[in-house]
Amino acid sequence: MADEPLGTGRADSASPASTVCRFGAAPLRIEDVAALARRDCMAELSDDPAFRARIQRGADYLDRMLQDHGHIYGVTTGYGDSCTVGVPRELVAELPHHLFTYHGCGLGRYLDPAETRAALAARLASLVRGMSGVSLPLLQGLATLLRHDVLPLIPAEGSVGASGDLTPLSYVAAVLCGEREVLHAGRVQPAAEALAAIGMAPLRLRPKEGLAIMNGTAVMTGLACLAWQRADYLCRLATRLTAFNVLVADGNAHHFDQVLFDAKPHPGQSRIAARLRADLDSAQPPRNQQRLQDRYSLRCAPHVIGVLEDTLPFLRQLIEVELNSANDNPLIDPEEERLLHGGHFYGGHIALAMDTLKNTVANVADLLDRQLALIVDARYNHGLPANLSAATGPRASINHGLKALQISVSAWTAEALKQTMPASVFSRSTECHNQDKVSMGTIAARDCLRVIELTEQVVAAMLVAARQGLALRQRAGMNAQLGATLAAMYEDLGSCIALVEEDRALDRELRHLLVEIRRERWELYVGH
């Protein structure tokens, strides 16, 4: 294979926990998808008779339509612009196989295990709505892949986001039929071999089932769920780091006064300020008489991080509506027995969510980058050594502290900012102008995840800087008291990050910190 299938997504566990996520019952939340992606819960189909009857009614109605008048888009016709091409009755059964076969042209990296599980979960969440005309065995097949961790190798590139994620999802359809390759039990193997190992017979897709699997927004939506959760944690972690950096820079806690933020009461912005007040343990902090006002990267931190905090609830709504929607075409109303042609495969809401999220997250990376620039610079860090070097004595001259780390942070931040060009405005007319307006939602989701990855790298570096800077501020004498929550986290950082006195490579420590960030090691602002 040209690309490595194993990525660096959120931490995977060897086997799923006993917690069950039941598809076909209550709507899924972002947290459910994230838990499935981490293997913290097991996928099961609802055993509610009403749910199963609804699924069966949709499949039965499709069969009757095919029998009665035999003219159904994507069943007795070609796909997309080829909808005017009639398919003879004797070839109808082969059509779904051709759909996933000719879409086997994806390239780029493979989705990592967590991303793949999220995509499978999102497709199953859509199909259990009962408006896609699929059978119970298909739903059970998707749940089985999740339960046994049989993961299709899904190329990340090749989707324009309408008609949905056709090319990436073709790899899901193919695997259900025993074709192409999967990651299972720690190795890449033929799908047929993996299915046999778990006792699952390959499916023979019924009419429309290939279209139902592929013609939807599952990949972009699954990725969006993961992006949202990681961004939510970054929002809280950036706030905690800001509190550390205020102390390191000998800054002014009064910039976060409640009355001040009551005067401009954006809810998320106000929450960030409240968290900083709690961290800095100063309801009525004294004014720093040397500097009435800190630089913007400290003073305006609630205004920067607060944009992300205020955006997250809105983006959650967009993502969760998409997650729990029927988003293929055509749809089947099993109650009124109607066939409905539309465009629900269009991923515009996910594209907006991801373009917005990557912008707000990149701004947080830039904020932290600017904070680091202040605290490493002896001209602005109010009495600390240049580059936060902890070396003393004769060897101080050959030690450089966090000089190179700041350069790396600048590089990661610059790349994150470069990635903020909105993908959703780059619609391309394709497929003989049938798909003449497309969402680019999947590209937006991939871009967003890259921005989040880069920001997590910035945060990892800032954790090193916080541990280093606070130690040096304590050495120089602190004008503020270290509150209990900050003290506890500072102690924990000290247990995994040694003080940089003699120059040393930091890459292993940074990679370890990235794992801990993605595991959400530090519990932050519970109840705030």
Active site (catalytic) residues: 73
3-state per-residue secondary structure call for 260-311? HHHCCCCHHHHHHHHHHHHHHCCCCCCCCCCCCCCCHHHHCHHHHHHHHHHH
Task: Please tell me the total number of residues recorded for the chain in this structure.
Answer: 528
Task: State phi, psi for 418 to the nearest 5 degrees.
Answer: -60, -30
Residue of 152, 138, 120 lying closest to 28 (CA atoms)? 120
Question: Which residues share a beta bridge with 110?
Answer: 155
Return the number of other C-beta atoms located less than 10 Å from residue 5's C-beta: 20
Distances (CA, A) of 188 to 5, 6, 168, 194, 200: 8, 10, 17, 9, 18
CA-to-CA dists, residue 454 to 323, 358, 363, 365, 496, angstroms:
26, 11, 12, 8, 21
Q: What are phi and psi of 332, to 5 degrees?
A: -120, 125
Whether the Cβ atoms of residue 349 and residue 321 lie closer than 8 Å to each other? yes
DSSP-derived 3-state class of residue 15: coil
Neighbours of 8 (CB within 10 A): 13
Q: What does the DSSP assignment read for 163-197?
A: SSSHHHHHHHHHHHTT-SEEEETTEEEEHHHHHHH
Q: How far apart are CA 223 and CA 236, in angstroms?
A: 21
Taking residue 304's Cβ as centre, other Cβ atoms within 10 Å add up to: 22
For 41, the token pair is: 């819960």
Task: Name the residue among 265, 146, 237, 305 with its Cα closest to residue 462.
Answer: 237
Closest to 152 in 3D by CA, of 191, 112, 113, 182: 182
Q: Which helix (H) or strand (E) holds 366?
A: helix 348-376
Report the distance separating Cα 442 and Cα 159, nearest Å. 6
Task: Name the burial class of residue 202, with classes exposed (0-12), middle (13-18) and buried (19+) by CB atoms within 10 angstroms of its CB.
Answer: middle
d(CA 109, CA 7): 9
Contacts of 95 (CB under 8 A, 6+ apart): 74, 75, 87, 207, 210
Residue 213, both tokens: 């699997």
